[in-house]
């Protein structure tokens, strides 16, 4: 039994080490929205609410699906509304992934 716990702890540590960093998540989100909006990444402000960029619900749902595919983790469908900026969304995703794995 102790051996199994050691294996489980080792597996959890390995998964956590392979989780994307806050910086990687931020970069992914900035790239995603810049591509979606057809603007330069430098024009994306991490603290500007998504609705100010004209992000509609269909785009938010699509982004959530792409994010889930990239991270291999399912999020609540309201995540973009609950965390309406790249900064708050990144923080939440980072915390949620760390607690899940």
The per-residue pLDDT for range 1-19, each reduced to its tens digit, is 444 555 444 444 444 557 8
Element (H, E) at 9: helix 2-17
Convert the pLDDT of each residue in 41-70 to its tens digit: 999 999 999 999 998 888 989 999 999 999
Query: Which distant-in-sequence residues (6+ apart) come within 8 Å of 25 by Cβ?
Result: 90, 93, 94
Give me the count of residues in the chain: 101
- Decide: helix, strand or coil at residue 73: coil
Kindly report the pTM of this predicted structure: 0.80
Tell me phi and psi for residue 31, to 5 degrees.
-60, -45
Work out the mean pLDDT of the chain and round it to a whole number.
86
Q: Answer whether 28's CB lies under 8 Å from 41's CB.
A: no
């Amino acid at each position: 039994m102790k051996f199994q716990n050691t294996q489980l702890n080792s597996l959890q540590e390995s998964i956590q080490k392979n989780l994307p960093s806050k910086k990687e998540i931020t970069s992914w989100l900035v790239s995603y929205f810049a591509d979606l909006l057809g603007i330069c990444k430098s024009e994306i402000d991490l603290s500007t609410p998504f609705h100010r960029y004209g992000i509609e619900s269909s785009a938010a749902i699509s982004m959530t699906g792409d994010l889930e595919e990239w991270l291999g983790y399912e999020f609540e469908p309201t995540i973009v509304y609950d965390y309406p900026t790249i900064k708050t969304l990144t923080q939440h995703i980072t915390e949620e992934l760390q607690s899940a794995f």
